[in-house]
Structures are given as structure tokens and as C-alpha cells.
Amino acid sequence: LVISVPLSFFGGIGGASRKGILIKGANYMDVLAKVDTVVFDKTGTLTHGRFAVEAVHPERYDERHLLHLAAHVEHFSTHPIGAALRAAFPEESTDGCQVTDVKEIAGHGITATISLEPDASSSHSVAVGNTKMMESLSIKWHECELKGTIIHVAIDNEYAGHIVINDQIKEDSTIAISNLKSLGVNRTIMLTGDREEVAKNVAEKLHLDEY
């Protein structure tokens, strides 16, 4: 008895570690056996923490041109949203267009002047940002029926459309949550600093109990 009890704990801790699960000690295994609630962080845990363009809704021009100009404006941005826009239009770095007068407005977005190739004389003033930026420029913007981070684009002081960007849910998150419930976890909760509509969308997709 004296040997078998600690040996069982060590066997459990070792078996868990082989599956990539770190358990700090035997007392935590006792607690885990009684767990009925699990709380998750969202970004990087249930999601990849990697933003991607999910939809493009142009009002003027076409989808490709809207992405083209938005990607150029975000060329110098280190924000994950800027990276997502550049990834959606990889030609941005090689198409020869010139970007000048770049201004980043904290909490709003970025404005820039873009000279298009091959006609370098054809330039556009482009603003890429949130609804606050559109309102500060007195530009009437449109709501989007999709959930996510909505990036609005104005070209030459006219509304040109919006782009929907979302963090991507991990492929195995749904399976993991389903498996936890089958093991007796009856309450799953997600905590996030993201906006409520984004949190709600992720929670509904993963069938979480609360967010």
C-alpha cells in the first residue's frame, strides 16, 4: 500500500507528461479528479492568435482593389490586423506602388497617400480603420452582418467598403471541449479582453457555456 499509492501518482503524472500535460504534483491530480468547471483564455488557447481576412465587402471598386489599397496603407503597421491585410494581398510588397504621408492615429487607424503603378500620377488618399476614424472624417459607414473585427476603408474621402478579420479557431478546440464534457466537466467558460460580439461568436462556435 505504501508503495502503490505514490507509484500510481507518479505513473499518472508521467503518463500525462507524455501527452504534453504538465501536472505539478500528486495533490493536483486529486483536485483534477473532482473538477467540474474549466475556464479558458481565448487568444492563443482556443484560437491560434493569428488574424486572417474572412470577407471583403466593397462599396466601390472590387474586392481585390480594396484589399490592395488597404494592404499598402498597413505596410508599416506591426499590428496583427495589419499583418492579416498584408497576408491577404501578398503582391503588396512587389507591385511598385508608392506609399507616402503615412499617419497612424491611435485608437482609430491609419491614413496614407498611395500612388498606383504604372501610372504614378494616379494617387489616392486612403484611410483604413474603425468607425471612429470614419466618423472623424465625416464619412458615412455601413454595418456588417458578419461577426469579427471590421476594418473600414475610405478612398478619396468616400466610403469604399469594409474588410472582416477574425482570429482563427484552433481545429481541435471543439473536440477538446466535447471530450472534457464527456469526462464530467459540466461548465466551460471563456475569458477574453476582446469585444463582446467577437467573444459571443467564438463561444457559440465552440458550444461553451459562458463567456
Supply the residues annotated as catalytic. 41
DSSP 8-state secondary structure symbol assigned to residue 197? H
Of 134, 136, 164, the residue nearest 66 (C-alpha): 164
H/E stretch holding 168 reads strand 158-169
What amino acid occupies position 41? Answer: D
Of 19, 37, 6, 1, the residue nearest 191 (C-alpha): 37
Helix, strand counts (H, E) of the chain? 7, 8
Q: Which residue has cell 478579420?
A: 165
The Cα angle at residue 201 between residues 76 and 106, in degrees rounded to 5? 30
Residue 6 in grid coordinates: 505514490
**Is the separation of the CB atoms in 53 and 85 below 8 Å?**
yes
Angle between helices 196-206 and 173-182 in degrees, nearest 10: 60
Cα dihedral 126→132→134→136 (10° resolution): -100
